[in-house]
Amino acid sequence: MIYKFPKNFLFGVGTSSHQIEGNNFNNDWWFAETNKPKGQKFPSEKSGIANDFWNRYKADIDLVSELGCDIFRMSVEWSRIEPREGYFDNEAIFHYKKIMEYARSKKLKIFLTLHHFTIPIWFEIKGGFANSKASDYFSNYALKCVEEFREYTTLFATINEPEVLISSGYLHGEWPPFEKNLLRTYLALKNIFKCHNNAYKIIKNKYSVKIGIVTNILCIQASSNSFLEKFLANLFQNLVIFNSLNSVKKNLDFIGLNFYQTFKISGLNISNKYEPHDEMGWYLNFDSIRIILNKLKKFKLPIYITENGIADESDKLREWYLKYILISIYEALTLDKVNVKGYIHWSLIDNFEWQYGYEKKFGLVSVSRNHNLKRIKRKSFAYYQLICKTKQVIE
């Protein structure tokens, strides 16, 4: 069977600044990587030079182009663009423009994320997103980015996965600023959504660009037909979806969906320890994305799948995963009429996987860390290339 996507459906790959650029020494992650906070199981490795994308961007964008992608998701690093409060670094801005210009010369549409997990040290010192003025700082930065980069793209996401960032940093204490405080979690969450809402209003007042947010939505299913499990699954699912999106829904031109994980409710337990799973231990289930996409229909907004992929160093599962997840998306698009605009695979390339350092491999391309960061295409690169070029999946 052939699943033919519409001509205007966008296929792409995604990346983020701190995970690939290298030498992002002026942000909260770098600080934590180099000054391991006491008692933290923080990365065994430092991000260091990462993939040196900052210098090798041409070779990497060539790979995106070779894949036959329509769209490239990248992010800009706040700590490079605004290294000190209120001071914008023209050299860094110029360098990002060169990267975007190069992508444009390869006929790639850019999906630009303005904030992907890291914050400048100066903002961290002020309390980061727990600071009640966070939205003023963020909006100032976001407006500057749109002013500078709108020449290269009209598609901007303010913040990547606010709910993941704040829960990891303020509730579970696993990411900077390593807090475990319910009240501060609540404050930071409230402020980060305000950051989006304020930035949206200020930018839209001046420029006609498209602005969205990127949210990570887990799928929660009942493991049997039991009334209780179905009730709980539905309750938690709605909480996960609406918790993030209700706070920003009035200020969105599109939704960016990052989809990875499925959890099942069994009795009163919730777990993702099911088969098959990837190297993160994440249960892989294809129906889930269709279910989530259908739930998002309610917002009546275009949806970009901004991240989806698996950790699979030996590339055993990636092609199979890609095939069936895309069929599920195809069904949501064609049978359920969900307004999905595109699919951005995570990731183009193995990268700095936050608390896991370089251990988990999400890339279509691997990086030989002992051989001058040599890029090596995995087998699934050719598989995804065929999909991007033909816009179809064959079962």
Q: How far is the CB of 151 from ligand BGC (least distance, A)?
A: 26
Q: How far, in Å, CA of 116 to CA of 279, rounded?
A: 23
Beta-carbon contacts of 134 under 8 Å, excluding residues fewer than 6 positions away, are 123, 127, 128, 191, 192, 194, 195
When the beta carbons of 54 and 117 are compared against ligand BGC, the nearer one is: 117
When the beta carbons of 160 and 285 are compared against ligand BGC, the nearer one is: 160
When the beta carbons of 3 and 346 are compared against ligand BGC, the nearer one is: 346
Alpha-carbon torsion 29, 34, 39, 44, what sign?
positive
Residue 35 corresponds to which tokens in the numbers above? 């000054």
Q: How far is the CB of 351 from ligand BGC (least distance, A)?
A: 7
Nearest 5°: CA angle at 43, between 38 and 44? Answer: 95
Q: How far is the CB of 153 from ligand BGC (least distance, A)?
A: 19
Beta-carbon contacts of 32 under 8 Å, excluding residues fewer than 6 positions away, are 40, 42, 175, 176, 178
N-to-C CA span, the chain: 5
When the beta carbons of 143 and 306 are compared against ligand BGC, the nearer one is: 306
Q: How far is the CB of 363 from ligand BGC (least distance, A)?
A: 10
When the beta carbons of 331 and 353 are compared against ligand BGC, the nearer one is: 353
Binding positions for ligand BGC, rule: CB under 6 A:
16, 19, 160-161, 164, 216, 258, 307, 346, 353, 362
Q: How far is the CB of 218 from ligand BGC (least distance, A)?
A: 11
When the beta carbons of 80 and 360 are compared against ligand BGC, the nearer one is: 360
- CB-based burial, 40-69: b 16+ in 10 Å, e otherwise: eebbeebbbebbbbbebbeebbebbbebeb
Q: How far is the CB of 352 from ligand BGC (least distance, A)?
A: 8
